[in-house]
Structure 1
Amino acid sequence: MTPQEATAPRTGSTRTAEAVARRAAGHSLEGPFYTDPDFYDLDLAAVFARQWIFVAVDAELPEPGDRTTVDIGPYALLLVRDDQGDLRAFHNVCRHRGARLLDGDGGTTGNLVCGYHKWTYRTDGSLLHAPSQPDDFDRGRYGLKPVHVRSVGGLVFVCLAAQPPADFPEVAARIEPYLLPHGLRRAKVAARTDLVEEGNWKLVMENNRECYHCDGHPELLRTFFPTYGYTEENLPARLRPAHERRLRAEAEVHATYERLGLPYELIEELDDRVTGFRIQRAALDLAGESFTPDGRAACRRLLGDLPTPRLGHLALHLQPNSWFHVLGDHAITFSVLPLAPDRTLLRTTWLVHPQAEEGVDYDPGTLMSVWTATNAQDARLVARAQRGVAGPAYEPGPYAPSEYQVEAFCSWYIARLRSELHREEPHP
């Protein structure tokens, strides 16, 4: 059975189409983009039902029978490692009368059994048993509906569309060499948090794409250089000392990358392709090893076969819903999933070496402290922005030069909406 097209309704009123058409480059989006249910429905159809969406890590499903669930807007999905060890994704909907097949975030199962009428499916999605059906019942017609799924260097993506974006294999081939030295496929989940932010999903993504507001992140700025997004031409005088430290740290860490054969060059194609992305290895401040108060490693066992923790961080950003920080000692993944026009789930996962022992090799509090604080601070900023864009006095304002990645995100997003609104064939 081939993956089936997500059955999102055709959306986009004249009002939404006009707002998309008049979007002013270099300025924030108009208020309805963040508040209007019509735009929320359009976002689900044009973005989340058509793009590759980051939803999990391989470490959540290390063995055959391991499974987890995730919701993308109205779409309930389940991921499972089949009996041959391959990753599978299905709509989490029983083919009998539509009951939710599995609940909960994770677990292990031999077969997938519906808790309503006990229809039972193999881990490859085929229907194994349907109680009390007639003799001529054809089980082959009622397997679970599959969804495209792919692991890239230990990061798991799904795509609800019948035809996923054609450029994703190229993007995967370009970012995997950056990820593979860290051995994320063999890592283990040390912690995971779910934070519901009181704002539109785009505000969550936009907030992450700039450091204009980074003065509000004192824990993060112990090691993360506040010069992110700035150039020599637009660097404020107050950031000059940090800039000079960054140049010295980069010279040292680039020499390490060269010696170890680690790719580190910036690749930035955020808004000129369907699968927009940005990837780069960059230095950290202080000890330069990890996101901790002194910059030293939070886990004694290093990821993969890396010989030193002083590697700065590998930063990866993928449109539309994810960003990642991969370090010598651990990795952090961030997945943004829409819940409502003004509510968004931010799922953060910390990965460590598979043999790292909690309380021996790492302390969860130390491991999680910087990004737990930063996420909470960002959530307050996103809620504040949501309240503002919902008011009658709001009108789009101009981006600063250091916010160029916010502009790139909005430009990429508007292109997806335009493509959906001008799609010739009807959306099933």
Structure 2
Amino acid sequence: MTVHASDTASEAASHAAPADLVARRIPGHSLEAPFYTSDAFFRLDVDAVFARSWIFAAAEAELPEPGDYITLTVGAYSVIVVRDDDEEVRAFHNVCRHRGTRILNDERGSVGNIVCGYHHWTYGVDGTLLHAESQPPDFDRSCFGLRSVHVRTVAGLVFLSLAAEPPADFGEFASRVEPYLAPHNLARAKVAKQIDLVEHGNWKLAMENNRECYHCAGHPELQRCYFPLYNFTENEVPPGMRATFERFQKADAEARATFESLGLPYAAIEELVERPTGFRIEREPLDLAGESFTPDGKAAVRRLLADFPTARLGHLGLHLQPNAWFHFSADHAVLFSVVPLAADRTLVRTTWLVHADAEEGIDYDLDTLTGVWVATNEQDAVFVSRAQLGVSSPAYAPGLYSPTESQVESFVTWYITRLTAHLEGP
């Protein structure tokens, strides 16, 4: 019987402690199998990454009125994100201060007050305890408000941190990206559609898949309007994509002239590794009509998000470690978030925003608006599920990243840094 080295390495990795696997990660290579397959790493990822970072939670458009809320579940955590009576966005742990009961059980809704269904302790949408029946005379309601979760809004996007002391660099991140986002008027948009897709793969595989276009030949709908040249340098462009690259160069020169004439920031800012709140942002042209993510590149929504003099603004792309990416065009925005459900299951939520006054059937057709990304997401779900099957095989061994996968390497390096900091302690 022949024993292959890959089989031996795979078996050894399955028995190694998470700290040892983190310490021996080889730069430029994919992670060892347990990072993607083990329950121990799933729990570690929640504790070290999702509970200690700033994560994207929702669009403000999902909370248009006071009392509107969503709930977000990350591992054992459940969070209520709600708009209060002063129209501020707040976040609280979804845990009653009486005996710990989960309070709100729906994914979204609207409340006057937040009422626990068990013993009817009642909280205001600002988290204060308003009513608790049958308490002693010296009971101090002010000591039993809902436990707050750190929450920040940036140009219509809602971020939260479960950490007692969240990463201190969020203010700098916000100041860097807000000038890019603000022109799109997201705080006054509305949700046209939201789709939840459960991918049968680890959350890191979903994020890695998004960070490269090496596989973009598998996205024919997207490739019609999106230049599939992400992370390719001029010298790396394959011969078969040379015409596309030349078309991109022409569109890019025209787009930069437009961006500058309108005072829209467009230069790439890439700080994916060196900061806790790693991000990348850049405004780029789109192919064909250059207006939107549609089969012909034309705007999907007649009513633009803001008072832009032209719809030909390409797209503004923002990527945030660890769980989100965004595309903003003149006519709509598409928001993507990733939430780990289990070692081999991940929720990918896609939200389309349009102008608050845009009317379906008049200003836009929903299938045209969503079609490119619906197809792309379904294709990506297949790729991620196949990747999960592959890393689960005893024959799997970490492979070498292509130069065009540099942002995958950046994501994995950022992730390993977060785990290392957590495992080493204060």
**Residue 360 of structure 2 aligns with which residue?**
358
Structure 1 residue 238 displacement after superposition: 1.1
- Report the Cα offset of residue 88 of structure 1: 0.5
Rounded Cα–Cα distance in structure 2 between residues aligned with 1:72 and 1:184: 25
Q: More displaced, 292-301 or 233-242?
A: 233-242
Deviation, structure 1 residue 14: 6.7
Letter in 2 for 1:64: P
- Distance in 1, Cα, partners of 2:325 & 2:66: 28
Q: For the Cα contact (< 8 Å) 2:203–2:339, is it kept in 1?
A: yes
Q: Shift of the alpha carbon at 1:38?
A: 1.0
Structure 2 residue aligned with 1:377:
379
Structure 2: runs of 5 or more not aligned:
1-14
Q: Deviations over 1:308-356 (max 9, x none)?
A: 1100000000000000000000000000000000000001000000000
1:4 alignment partner in structure 2: none
Does the residue aligned with 2:220 lie in a helix, a strand or coil? coil
Tell me which of 251, 254, 261 is aligned to 1:252.
254
Deviation of 1:233 (Å): 2.0
| Partner in structure 2 of residue 60 of structure 1 | 62
Question: Structure 1, residues 253-280: CA drift from partner, whole Å, max 9, x if none?
Answer: 1111011100000111111211111000
In structure 1, give the amino acid aligned to 2:374. T
Q: Distance in 1 between matches of 2:248 and 2:94?
A: 47
2:287 corresponds to which residue? Answer: 285
Distance in 1 of aligned mates of 2:166 and 2:101: 27
Taking the aligned partners of 2:124 and 2:322, their CA distance within structure 1 comes to: 32
Match of 1:137 in 2: 139
* Residues 1:19 and 2:21 aligned together: yes
2:236 is matched with 234
Residue in 2 aligned with 1:168? 170
2:197–2:349 Cα contact (<8 Å) kept: yes
d(CA) in 1 for partners of 2:62, 2:136? 39
Residue in 2 that maps onto 1:294: 296
Unpaired stretches in structure 1, ≥5 consecutive residues: 1-12
Give the match's secondary structure for 1:40: helix
Equivalent in the alignment of 1:272: 274
Q: Distance in 1 between matches of 2:282 and 2:150?
A: 27
The Cα shift of 1:56 comes to 0.3
Q: Match of 1:208?
A: 210
Moved over 6 A (4+): none
C-alpha separation in 2, matches of 1:198 and 1:107: 28
SS in 2 for 1:196: strand
| Percent identical residues | 64
Q: Does residue 1:323 correspond to 2:325, yes or no?
A: yes
1:233 partner SS = helix
> How far off its partner does 1:85 sit?
1.3
Q: Secondary structure at the match of 2:302?
A: coil
Partner of 2:85: 83
**Aligned AA for 1:314?**
L
Name the CA distance, whole Å, in 1 between partners of 2:424 and 2:36. Answer: 21
Q: 1:293-316 CA distances to partner (integer Å, 9 max, x unpaired)? A: 000000000012222110000000
Task: Give the aligned residue type for 1:76.
Answer: S
Alignment partner for residue 183 of structure 2, among 159, 181, 197?
A: 181
2:117 maps to which of 110, 115, 118: 115
Query: Where does residue 6 of structure 2 map in the other structure?
Result: none
SS at 2:103 equivalent: coil
CA distance in 1, matches of 2:247, 2:106: 46
**Contact persistence 2:43–2:75 (CA under 8 A):** no
TM (normalized to structure 2)? 0.95
Whole-angstrom CA distance in 2 between matches of 1:82 and 1:294: 42
**What residue in structure 2 maps to residue 8 of structure 1?**
none
- The letter for the 1-side match of 2:160 is V
Shift of 1:106: 2.1
Cα displacement (A) at 1:103: 2.0
Whole-Å separation in 2 of the counterparts to 1:119 and 1:146: 17
What is the CA–CA distance in structure 1 between the aligned matches of 2:224 and 2:105, rounded to whole Å? 40
Deviates more, 1:56-65 or 1:328-337: 56-65
| Structure 2 Cα separation of the partners of residues 301 and 115 of structure 1 | 43
State the distance in 1 between where 2:72 and 2:278 align. Answer: 23
Aligned residues: 412
**What is the Cα deviation at residue 92 of structure 1?**
0.7
Asked whether the equivalents of residues 83 and 89 of structure 2 are also in contact (C-alpha less than 8 Å), the reply is yes
Find the aligned partners of 1:287 and 1:274 in 2 and give their Cα distance.
37
Q: Distance in 2 between matches of 1:238 and 1:273?
A: 37
1:401 aligns with 2:403: yes
Query: In the alignment, what sits opposite 2:338?
Result: 336
For 2:144 and 2:25, the matched residues in 1 are separated by 45
CA–CA distance in structure 2, aligned partners of residues 176 and 43 of structure 1: 28
What RMSD, in angstroms, separates the aligned Cα atoms of the two structures? Answer: 1.0
1:74-108 deviation digits (Å, cap 9, x = unpaired):
10000111111111100011111222111222222
Cross-structure match for 2:49: 47
Q: Which residue of 2 aligns with 1:125?
A: 127
Counterpart Cα distance in 1 of 2:362 and 2:107:
27
Q: Is residue 193 of structure 2 the alignment partner of residue 198 of structure 1?
A: no
CA distance in 1, matches of 2:207, 2:369: 23
Give the whole-Å Cα distance in 2 for the aligned partners of 1:324 and 1:48: 19
Post-superposition offset of 1:127: 0.3
Q: For 1:221, which of 210, 220, 223 is the aligned residue?
A: 223
Separation of aligned partners in 1, 2:256 and 2:108: 39
Which AA in structure 1 matches 2:291?
E
Deviations, residues 395-425 of structure 1 (Å, cap 9, x unaligned): 000011100000000000000011011114x
Task: Report if the CA contact (8 A) 2:201-2:344 is conserved.
Answer: yes
SS in 2 for 1:219: helix
Which one of 412, 420, 423 corresponds to residue 422 of structure 2?
A: 420
